[in-house]
Amino acid sequence: RGKRAFIAGIADDNGYGWAIAKALAAAGAEILVGTWVPALNIFETSLRRGKFDESRKLPNGSLMEITKVYPLDAVFDSPEDVPEDIKTNKRYAGSSNWTVKEVAELVKNDFGTIDILVHSLANGPEVSKPLLETSRKGYLAAISASSYSFVSLLQHFLPIMNPGGATLSLTYIASERTIPGYGGGMSSAKAALESDTRVLAFEAGRKGNIRVNTISAGPLGSRAAKAIGFIEKMIDYSYANAPIKKELSADEVGNAAAFLVSPLASAVTGSVVYVDNGLHTMGLAI
């Protein structure tokens, strides 16, 4: 039987999540998606109206099928955590059962088990502020949406993951080197995500024979990255300075992801894998 993957963090066809879904679909996996609740409507409408058909094309000419899209807000673990203003917000009121625990339950009821869990989401409301000017609230929100969201997803999905399965998240080098402009505690959130990758690799490895890795990706002009504001500069910088002189495509991250969650990588866990044209190796920009 083919593998079944749940990919959290797809709301259009531009980001890393979409490219990972395509690479996994091309390798024969069944694709389930978790989409941020406020973005659900437009994503589903666009899918239905064929807006993504061109980018759904797989190497063999067929179109990627998404078996099911689940509304998800990964900053809430269970219904008790949802504050009144969110509950009654009209972008949320039309959907239900979108906390992490409930989505895991729905996937269990619909499909029983999964083999692959991908976390391709991040949010930092104060990302454009330097860390020195970041509020406690903004910092904790960045950690909640970008780091704890992975802990929570793994916590709730591990019981329905088949042994031998694998999980993956996306990180950024701002965790270990200073990238001015990547603020709001987002650098801290990525550092936490990478540290958690090691600890969770041990815990999930021993508990369920599940692997945990993270890809440190180079810059991509996704929706989230454009919101930060300096992505074009980062893409130019990478082009000018990385060992491999080309623009990074989302598909290259998708392909590395497909390797990491496949049996080809059965001994790789707890790793930060760089998919960035080698930019991380450079100590001097020339």
The footprint of ligand NAI (CB under 6 A) covers 9-11, 14-17, 36, 39, 72-75, 120-123, 145, 170-172, 217, 219-220, 222-225
Cα separation, 217 vs 170, in Å, equals 7
Nearer to ligand NAI, 199 or 227 (CB): 227
- Spatial CA neighbour of 279 closest among 225, 222, 220: 220
Tell me whether residue 145 or residue 242 sits nearer to ligand NAI (CB atom).
145
Shortest Å, Cβ 196 to ligand NAI: 13
Minimum CB separation of residue 114 from ligand NAI in Å reads 17
Q: Which of 16, 182, 237, 239 is catalytic?
A: 182
Shortest gap between Cβ of 248 and ligand NAI (angstroms)? 8
Known active-site residue 239: no
Rounded-to-integer distance, Cα 266 and Cα 168, Å: 13
Q: Which of 172, 237, 239, 274 is catalytic?
A: 172
Closer to ligand NAI by Cβ: residue 224 or 265? 224
Whether residue 37 contacts residue 92, with contact meaning beta carbons closer than 8 Å, is answered with yes
The answer to whether the CB of 135 falls within 8 A of the CB of 180 is: no
Q: Is residue 10 left, alpha or beta, with left meaning phi > 0 and alpha meaning psi from -120 to 50?
A: beta
Cα 212 to Cα 194: distance, rounded to the nearest angstrom: 10
Q: Which residues contact 31 (CB under 8 A, 6 or more apart)?
A: 5, 7, 21, 24, 25, 64, 65, 66, 67
Smallest distance, ligand NAI to C-beta of residue 59, A: 21
- Gyration radius of the chain over CA positions: 18
Task: Return the number of the residue (21 or 208) whose C-beta is nearest ligand NAI.
Answer: 21
Shortest Å distance, C-beta 268 to ligand NAI: 19
- Torsion-angle region of residue 65: left (phi > 0), alpha (psi -120 to 50) or beta? beta
Complex with ligand NAI: residue 170 or 208, whichever CB lies closer: 170
Tell me, what DSSP letter sits at residue 73? Answer: -
Active site residue 16: no
Return the residue matching tokens 């990385």. Answer: 242
Distance, in Å, from the CA atom of 286 to the CA atom of 282, rounded to the nearest integer, reads 9
SS3 at position 240:
helix
Positions marked catalytic = 172, 182
